Amino acid sequence: MNFEIIPPITGKDCFAKMSAIRDLKRLKRAYGGTNWKKCKGFCNVRIEQGIYYAEVHWYECHGIGAVEYKIKRFLE
C-alpha cells in the first residue's frame, strides 16, 4: 500500500533494539549501520481513499534515519 506520512508523528516509542529485531541482519545488509531500533508512533497518513489517523511502525538507526514505514492499524 502506498501512503504518505503527514507530520508530526506523536507518541513515538522505540520498543525493540538490536538483537530483539528479527530483521536486523537484513537491515544491516541493506542500509548499513549498527544501532537499529524498531519504533512506533501515531500520525495522519494519506492514502488513495483519503487522510486517516493511524499507528505506524518503522526502523531507525543513528546516521541513517528512519526507514521502512508500515501502517499497523487505522485508529479512526
List the 65-74 sheet strands across, edge first. Answer: 4-17, 36-47, 50-61, 65-74
What is the pLDDT, as a whole number, of residue 54?
98
**Rounded distance, CA 32 to CA 43, Å?**
27
What is the pLDDT, as a whole number, of residue 1?
79
What is the residue extent of each domain of the chain? 4-74
The string of DSSP letters for 37-61 reads EEEEEEEEEEETTEEEEEEEEEEEE
Give the global pTM. Answer: 0.91
For the chain, the C-alpha Rg in angstroms (whole number) is 13
What is the pLDDT, as a whole number, of residue 23?
94
Q: What is the pLDDT of residues 24-64, one digit of tens each?
A: 999 999 999 999 999 999 999 999 999 999 999 999 999 99
